[in-house]
């Protein structure tokens, strides 16, 4: 696991990103300082992300609490594989998510991915290994590497909120497509994770009404 940025490091990275791409100056000016979004890493972190998807925050928290209790606070590949699908479903998991839990655990036990030493893989290699597991899409793999593994130069270009914030920054009529967003983000290397945090922060502030979205001057 990489060591994520400290607050001072994030601020310095934000300034660097704006120097590289002045179109993010507005986002930078309108977004307060933020900390790195940290989550538990490894197998537990990835499965937790799967559990959280497509349900409300409250529901996700309640289900995860039951998962931890049901697995005796040992959310490990071995414990997961030792728990049958029906028991996992009794914790509130859908059959799909319970199955994905087994698939991810099996990938680790069989050596297709090593959650204990994931830092040995490059970002590209880690994403390829993760997305080869049934139930793990590219967005999940990228955000897992960013939030759970502390990777500093990952950009989940398929994220709709990021695409919308990029549209605002560029004063464009349409959101960029995923492949175009990847290309657009290249300029922010090696701080693409900070750029993503910045764009998410700006998007959230606008949506909450904390800052007004000003149209760029013509």
Active site positions, annotated? 159
Cβ–Cβ < 8 Å for 188, 17? yes
CA gap 119, 31 in Å, rounded? 31
Cβ–Cβ < 8 Å for 148, 39? yes
Q: Within 13 Å of residue 213, how many CA atoms lie on the same side as its CB?
A: 17
CA gap 192, 201 in Å, rounded? 14
CA gap 90, 147 in Å, rounded? 28
Q: At a CB cut-off of 8 Å and minimum separation 6, what does 58 contact?
A: none
Cβ–Cβ < 8 Å for 86, 116? no
Q: What are phi and psi of 28, to 5 degrees?
A: -65, -45
CA gap 86, 95 in Å, rounded? 8
Question: DSSP state, 22?
Answer: G
Helix, strand, or coil here: 214?
coil
């Amino acid at each position: 696991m990489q060591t994520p940025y400290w607050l001072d490091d994030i601020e310095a990275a934000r300034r660097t990103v704006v120097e590289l791409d002045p179109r993010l100056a507005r986002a930078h000016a309108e977004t307060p300082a933020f900390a790195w979004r940290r989550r538990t890493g490894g197998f537990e972190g990835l499965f937790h992300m799967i559990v959280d998807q497509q349900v409300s925050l409250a529901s996700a928290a309640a289900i995860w609490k039951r998962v931890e209790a049901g697995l005796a606070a040992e959310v490990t590949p071995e414990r997961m594989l030792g728990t049958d699908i029906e028991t996992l479903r009794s914790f509130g998991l859908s059959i799909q998510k319970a199955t994905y839990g087994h698939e991810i655990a099996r990938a680790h036990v069989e050596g297709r991915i090593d959650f204990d030493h994931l830092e040995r893989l490059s970002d590209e290699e880690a994403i390829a290994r993760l997305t080869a597991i049934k139930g793990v899409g590219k967005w999940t793999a990228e955000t897992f590497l960013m939030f759970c593994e502390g990777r500093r130069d990952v950009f989940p270009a398929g994220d709709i909120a990021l695409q919308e914030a990029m549209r605002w920054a560029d004063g464009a009529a349409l959101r960029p497509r995923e492949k175009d967003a990847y290309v657009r983000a290249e300029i922010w290397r090696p701080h693409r994770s900070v750029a993503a945090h910045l764009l998410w922060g700006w998007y959230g502030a606008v949506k909450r009404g904390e800052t007004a979205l000003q149209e760029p001057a013509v």
